[in-house]
Amino acid sequence: GEDVEQSLFLSVREGDSSVINCTYTDSSSTYLYWYKQEPGAGLQLLTYIFSNMDMKQDQRLTVLLNKKDKHLSLRIADTQTGDSAIYFCAEIDSGAGSYQLTFGKGTKLSVIP
């Protein structure tokens, strides 16, 4: 079945850029998402990218997609302490008629002041 893998922890200094990486196995993924989860809170959609795109930028967030390597990354520019959270990569293969999201385990981002 589909699998999504992420590194579990990332620590950066405030003001630096953060890069969170994700790999997936489903070559027919149609949409890939990044969700953010703050302590005790739900899953907040950050951004998404369609599988026919290579890059998407949204203010401080840049998503890069390498379809050949099945690698997705999320870059957060000028990381702030408020960015400390768990970041989940998720994919959906709507081409198969399935609308279920498959999530990674999440990367815990710690921002050091």
Residue (of 43, 2, 42) closest to 23 by Cα position:
2
**Closer of 14 and 47 to another protein (Cβ):** 47
Measured from the CB of residue 63, what is the shortest distance to another protein in angstroms?
14
Copy the structure tokens of residue 68.
């050949």
CB of 7: closest distance to another protein in angstroms?
14
Which CB, 57 or 100, lies closer to another protein? 100
Residue 7: count of CB within 10 angstroms of its CB: 14
For residues 76 and 88, which CB has a smaller minimum distance to another protein in the complex?
88
Question: In whole angstroms, how far apart are CA 42 and each of 2, 7, 47, 48, 87?
Answer: 23, 21, 15, 17, 12
Which residues of the shown chain bind another protein in the complex (CB under 8 A)?
30-31, 33, 35, 41-45, 48, 88, 90, 92, 94, 98-106
